[in-house]
Amino acid sequence: MEKAISIQTLQRLPLYLQYLRALSADKGKNVSAKMLGNALGFGEIQVRKDLSSVSDGGKPKLGYCTKELIRDIEVFLGYDNVNDAVLVGAGKLGKALLSYQGFRDYGLNIVAGFDSNSEVCGTDESGKQILHLSRMEDLCRRMKIELGIITVPANEAQSVCDTLVKSGIRAVWNFAPVHLDAPKDVIIKNENIAASLAVLSKNLAQKENLAQQI
């Protein structure tokens, strides 16, 4: 375990985890690569290869120990040590993310939301405070926040990104449909709704059902 891992594998790991978590409640203690593959739509060889990067192995004839596997993936993905984050842009999407409880399962904790519109400031979103943007830098520095989430409209995103970088942020999760410029040492991950939609509508248009479960 802890070998080099491909981005593709890394992206599949949460899917295994999600399925395994749902499984562990009702089913027995072992799970095979074939079973996982069938459930998630992957080939069993791929499943084995993916899991070999994080787990120290299953047993022939039995498969993997569900509980250990869950733990291994969680540890690998760092879900055990929580990542604090700030969110900028308390519009509808921002509020949705602020109040989404599921992030806990992914080791993410949004400590507060920020907005430049004074009207929404001071309000609460499922227990998460929304503060004025001017207070962000101070909070980020004091709490040593490393991750910033951008949910502002496209035209404001670059300026928010600049502010985040100035606040000492090291990674940005960008939901605004624009490309952001940032220093090379800052990681930018774009959440690309338009790209997904493109794949989907192209498939729909072609009536080619080649790629199910994209």
Q: Which residues bind DNA (CB under 7 A)?
A: 6-9, 32-35, 42-46, 48-49, 51-52, 55, 57-64
**For the residues of 113-167, what is the DSSP string, one character each?**
EEES-TTTTT-EETTEEEEEGGGHHHHHHHHT--EEEE-S-HHHHHHHHHHHHHT
Does residue number 39 form part of the binding site for its own copies (CB under 8 A)? Answer: yes
Among the listed ranges 15-23, 51-59, 60-68, 111-119, the one in contact with its own copies (CB under 8 A) is 15-23
Does residue number 127 form part of the binding site for its own copies (CB under 8 A)? Answer: no
Are the C-beta atoms of residues 84 and 47 closer than 8 Å to each other? no
Instruction: Indicate the residue among 59 and 81 with the shorter CB distance to its own copies.
Output: 81
Sign of CA dihedral 28, 32, 211, 191: positive
User: Beta strand 64-65 with 187-190: parallel, antiparallel or unpaired?
Assistant: unpaired
Instruction: Indicate the residue among 155 and 212 with the shorter CB distance to DNA.
Output: 212
Are the C-beta atoms of residues 20 and 64 closer than 8 Å to each other? no
Interface with its own copies (CB under 8 A)? 7, 10-15, 18-19, 22, 39-41, 77-78, 83, 91-93, 95-96, 99-100, 102-103, 106-108, 146-147, 154, 170-171, 173, 177-179, 182, 184-205, 209, 211-214
